[in-house]
Amino acid sequence: MSEEELKIPKGSYAAGRRVTLPEGASQPIIVFVNGVAQSEGEDYLLRENEILFTREIIKETKTGKKKMFMLLGVVGFYNKDETVDVQFQRDGKTDFAGDLPVSK
């Protein structure tokens, strides 16, 4: 892991390394961070019904004032805010869940 990856930018925080899979999710499971496919074993491990990342997922701290400005489109904010998406099988069909919650 590079020094840059370890650095948490101002206005962001380390949200954690765990993401719970959607109910009924089964293999094949493809995990994405910010739209980029991740490698099982290198970037994450699957353990029962959760994804365990090898590094912290960084989320943006959103204050009430910042949310209001973003909704109004007044000011652009460019803090690091990673999203975790998962493609999986459920009931014999391919399904997708986006921006899953991250926990410690």
Residue in the block written with tokens 């926990």: 103
Quick one: pLDDT band at residue 40, thresholds 50, 70, 90? very high
What is the rounded CA–CA span in Å between residue 103 and residue 1? 20
The whole-number pLDDT of residue 41 equals: 98
Mean of the per-residue pLDDT values of the chain: 86
- pLDDT by residue (tens digit) across 20-37? 999 999 999 999 999 999
- pLDDT by residue (tens digit) across 62-86? 665 555 555 566 555 566 899 999 9
The whole-number pLDDT of residue 75 equals: 57
Quick one: pLDDT band at residue 3, thresholds 50, 70, 90? very low
The whole-number pLDDT of residue 66 equals: 54
Evaluate if pTM is beyond 0.85: no
